[in-house]
């Protein structure tokens, strides 16, 4: 039998200014991998042996969302070791899973802390947890609560989740929250590309590079529900293609003094190089959404990455070749 301990960590439902500052840093991708809570059993607002037990990941934003939603509710929070990954992603990876849950129940001596045998898990953790195995191994019955922690007080009051509580929403607010971290991750490569293109080709190609990136990390998430395609890559191609047309027309009108073949070359360069950039970044966005599947994303990568490379390579080669020709006075 594993060694057990009844060491319980005190917690509060009130978030401090420091907590909120860490949330801001996490939203822009700074120190995100350091936002980990110590796995174990937490006591929230002086619980009794009859108080409910909630289970979450040791990613600080997940832990903080849960405890702040339980303001005024005494209970226990069982924090699993998910290596600092949120519940939904950890469930897909298996770290918010059956084995870890069983081991954490045993390691904390939870059966000696509470008199009941009920655990409340977030609905998004369901893919990783086999409730029947948990019950056979520990005696604890798993109940899946609502998708969002904010609905827990109502769930506890009524004892059931409404259809609205079960529905995974991914509205504009949810999508906007994800944009800053993607912008931070792409900022340096985008700046480097824009500066390089500026000195090589001028301000218009540099602006096109920035626009292609913003198309994938900003416009595509905002327009997600309205873009008429299922696959994120195609949505990205649509946004990048629309932007490419703008820059192609702009280039055609601006370069009226060039030879016809050069004007056509610039147009082709924008039309070939920009859409794959937006599409690639849109595809990267699949890992941040609750509306994709692992197998679907794998198929999409296999199908569209070669297409992106096949379009981007000749497009950027045309732009660079025309830029060098221009610098040489051709």
DSSP 115-133: SS-EEEE-GGGGGG--HHH
- 12 & 140 share domain: yes
Q: Can you tell me whether residue 208 is helix, strand or coil?
A: helix
Q: Which two tokens stand for residue 90?
A: 């950890």
Average confidence (pLDDT) over 286-315 = 81
pLDDT digits (tens, 9 = 90+) for 52-102: 999 999 999 999 999 999 999 999 999 999 998 888 888 877 889 999 999
The 10 Å CB-count burial string (b at 16+, else e) for 12-51 is ebeeeeeeeebeeebbbeeebeebbbebbbbbbbebeeeb
Helices (H), 28-130: 60-69, 87-93, 98-108, 110-113
Q: Do the domain assignments include residue 295?
A: yes
Is 91 in contact with 129 (CB distance < 8 Å)? yes
Indicate if the pLDDT at residue 134 is higher than 90: yes
Q: Are residues 120 and 223 in the same domain?
A: no
- Give the chain's domain count: 2
* Same domain? 155 vs 235: no
Strand runs labelled E in the chain: 8-11, 40-44, 53-57, 75-80, 118-121, 141-144
For 101-121, how does the pLDDT look when each residue is reduced to its tens digit (9 = 90+)? 999 999 999 999 999 999 999
In a shared domain, residues 294 and 188: yes
The answer to whether residues 176 and 275 belong to one domain is: yes
Asked if pLDDT for residue 1 goes beyond 50, the answer is no
pTM of the complete model beyond 0.75: no
User: pLDDT tens across 199-230, in order?
Assistant: 988 999 999 999 999 999 999 999 998 999 88
Say if residue 4's pLDDT is above 50.
no
41: its two tokens: 């059993």
Angstrom distance (rounded) from CA 208 to CA 200: 13
**201 located within any domain:** yes
Kindly state the percentage of the chain with pLDDT values over 90. Answer: 62
Question: Which domain does 127 fall in, by range?
Answer: 8-166
* 61 and 93 in a common domain: yes
Distances from the Cα of 301 to the Cα of 94, 220, 282, 295, 308, angstroms: 22, 17, 11, 10, 10
Distance of CA 265 to the CA centre of its chain: 38
Q: What percent of the chain has pLDDT over 70?
A: 94
CA dihedral defined by 90, 93, 96, 97, rounded to 10 degrees? 160
C-alpha 166/C-alpha 145 separation (Å) is 8
């Amino acid at each position: 039998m594993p060694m057990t301990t009844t060491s319980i960590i005190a917690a509060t439902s009130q978030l401090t200014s420091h907590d909120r500052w860490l949330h801001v840093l996490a939203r822009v991708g700074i120190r995100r991998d350091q936002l980990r809570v110590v796995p174990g059993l937490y006591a929230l607002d002086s619980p009794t042996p009859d108080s409910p037990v909630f289970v979450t990941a040791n990613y600080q934003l997940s832990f903080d969302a849960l405890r702040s939603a339980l303001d005024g509710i005494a209970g226990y929070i069982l924090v699993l070791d998910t290596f600092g990954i949120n519940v939904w992603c950890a469930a897909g990876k298996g770290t918010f899973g059956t084995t870890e849950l069983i081991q954490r129940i045993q390691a904390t001596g939870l059966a000696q802390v509470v008199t009941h045998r009920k655990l409340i898990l977030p609905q998004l953790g369901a893919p990783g947890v086999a409730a029947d195995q948990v019950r056979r191994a520990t005696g604890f019955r798993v109940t899946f609560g609502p998708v969002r922690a904010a609905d827990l007080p109502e769930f506890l009051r009524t004892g059931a989740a409404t259809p609205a509580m079960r529905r995974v929403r991914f509205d504009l607010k949810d999508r906007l929250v994800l944009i800053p971290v993607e912008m931070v991750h792409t900022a340096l490569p985008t700046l480097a590309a824009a500066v390089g293109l500026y000195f090589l080709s001028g301000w218009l190609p540099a602006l096109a590079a920035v626009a292609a990136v913003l198309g994938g990390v900003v416009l595509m998430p905002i327009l997600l529900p309205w873009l008429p395609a299922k696959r994120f890559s195609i949505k990205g191609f649509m946004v990048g293609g629309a932007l490419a047309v703008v820059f192609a027309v702009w280039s055609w009108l601006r370069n009226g003094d060039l030879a016809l073949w050069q004007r056509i070359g610039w147009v082709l360069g924008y039309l070939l190089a920009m859409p794959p950039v937006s599409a690639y970044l849109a595809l990267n966005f699949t890992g941040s959404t609750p509306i994709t599947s692992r197998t679907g994303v794998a198929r999409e990568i296999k199908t569209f990455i070669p297409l992106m490379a096949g379009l981007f390579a000749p497009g950027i080669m045309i732009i660079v070749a025309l830029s060098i020709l221009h610098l040489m006075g051709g």
